[in-house]
Every structure is written in C-alpha cells, then in structure tokens.
Amino acid sequence: MQELNIQKTTETNEALYDLLLLADPSKEIVDEYLVRGECYTAWASDELAGIYVLLKTRPQTIEIVNIAVKESLQNRGFGKKLVKDAIEKARQSGADTIEIGTGNSSIHQLSLYQKCGFRLQAIDHDFFIRHYDEEIFENGIQCRDMVRLYLDLS
Ligand code: COA
C-alpha cells in the first residue's frame, strides 16, 4: 500500500479547505476547528491525500473533529491510516480518551471508526437539524442525529 506522510500544518489554502469541507459542509464550523484545533495533512508522494483536525475538548479528552480523504483516493486504506495516526497522536499527548462524532446516515464512517476500535457512546438527537441550514441525505437516509463514539486510551 502507498505510504502516507502525515505532518502538522498551520497553513490554510483552497486545497485544504476542499478536503475539510468534504467532512463538514459548514465553513464557519471548519474555521472554528482550525482556530481551536491542530490540523494534520497527509501526503501520498507529493499529492495532498487527506486531512484531520484534533481538538482538546475536555481535560484528557481529544476529539477528531474533521477527517477526510480526497475523493479520488478513497477506499484504499488511507482513511484507516489517518484514524490510527490520530489515535496515536492523542495517546502520545497523554489523553485518556479520544472521541469522534458522525451522522446516523454515515454508514461507511461508522464502520471505519468501529474497525479502528471506537465504541458507541451516545446519540445527540437532532444535532444536524439544529446546526445545519440544509437537509443532509446520505445512503438514502436523512442525517439528523450525531452518533458519538469514543476510544479509551488508558
Ligand atoms: N462502503 C462501506 N464501507 C466502506 C466503503 C464503502 N464504500 N469503503 C470503505 N469502507 C470501509 C471498509 O470496510 C474499510 O475497512 P477495511 O479496510 O477493513 O476494508 C474502512 O471503511 C476504511 O476504508 P478506507 O479506505 O481506509 O477509508 P477512506 O480512505 O475511503 O476514508 C473517509 C474514509 C470517511 C475519511 C472518506 O470516505 C471521506 O473522506 N469521506 C468524506 C468525508 C467524511 O465523511 N468524513 C468523516 C466525517 S464524520
């Protein structure tokens, strides 16, 4: 499998935003994550392949708030590599727990996160109705609820 070179970045440019907005259609929310969190980019050779943002949400708790792989490079294992790298970064920072949230309709993502060890924690009912202006549909399902997942690192 192709190697990924993952590095922290403080840059923002259009290519980065294109990826970030794949995971979250709200630029306002993405901008807030970039100010408060740490952004990591993944490079396959010289091509920007993926991105994730880590945010410290509570003492000892880190959340993956945005993760995406470039559409043309999806389904090659890069997403799993990014999630595993994020888990390792959270562990190295001394966090006890890493969390992630996704939509009830995000079947592929729910599968990926559980394959990486995340367990279901809670449902934030109507999160996407409250926070997003447009209705979101995926896999023929309306995205209404945020499914919260966690992984114990201690
Ligand atoms: N349908 C269902 N499951 C699928 C799938 C598909 N089309 N493609 C991959 N998977 C599963 C596979 O089971 C795979 O596990 P395996 O390695 O055991 O076979 C697992 O997901 C990981 O796949 P991977 O190739 O590593 O994922 P990816 O590189 O495609 O990246 C995302 C996954 C979610 C990051 C990517 O699809 C993406 O950027 N999506 C848009 C942004 C987004 O939704 N971000 C998350 C917001 S919560």
CATH number of the domain at 127, please: 3.40.630.30
- Report CA(33)–ligand 1 centroid distance (Å): 22
The span from the CA of 128 to the CA of 120, in Å, is 18
Q: What is the pLDDT of residue 25?
A: 85
Range of 68's domain?
5-152
- Report CA(79)–ligand 1 centroid distance (Å): 6
pLDDT per residue over 103-135, tens digit each?
A: 999 999 999 999 999 999 999 999 999 998 899
Query: Does the beta carbon of 2 sit less than 6 angstroms from any atom of ligand 1?
Result: no
| Other Cβ atoms closer than 10 A to 144 | 18
Contact 28, 59 (CB under 8 A): no
How much is the mean pLDDT over the chain?
Answer: 96
pLDDT per residue over 70-109, tens digit each?
A: 999 999 999 999 999 999 999 999 999 999 999 999 999 9
Q: How many domains are contained in the chain? A: 1
